[in-house]
Amino acid sequence: MPTCQNCGGHVSKRYARVLTPRGVDEPRTCPNCDLIRNGAEIRERNT
């Protein structure tokens, strides 16, 4: 199962397939992270 590069949390294969570029198996962030994607960049989540 794929894991998040940021927090190490497990994500579904479907999540990884939809939210990562082709050829990348591990997403850079996940719904459990304190970081989120902002286009091609990653930023801290607004609280």
22 and 45 Cβ atoms separated by less than 8 Å: no
pTM of the model: 0.69
**Closest to 37 (Cα-Cα) out of 5, 12, 3, 1:** 5
In a domain, 46, yes or no: no
Question: Which pLDDT band holds residue 3 (cuts at 50, 70, 90)?
Answer: very high
Q: What is the end-to-end Cα distance of the chain in Å, rounded?
A: 29
In a domain, 47, yes or no: no
- Tell me: the pLDDT tens digits for 25-47? 888 888 888 877 777 777 887 76
Range of the domain at 20: 1-41
Question: Which pLDDT band holds residue 2 (cuts at 50, 70, 90)?
Answer: very high
pLDDT value of position 20: 86
How many domains does the chain contain in total?
1
In a domain, 31, yes or no: yes
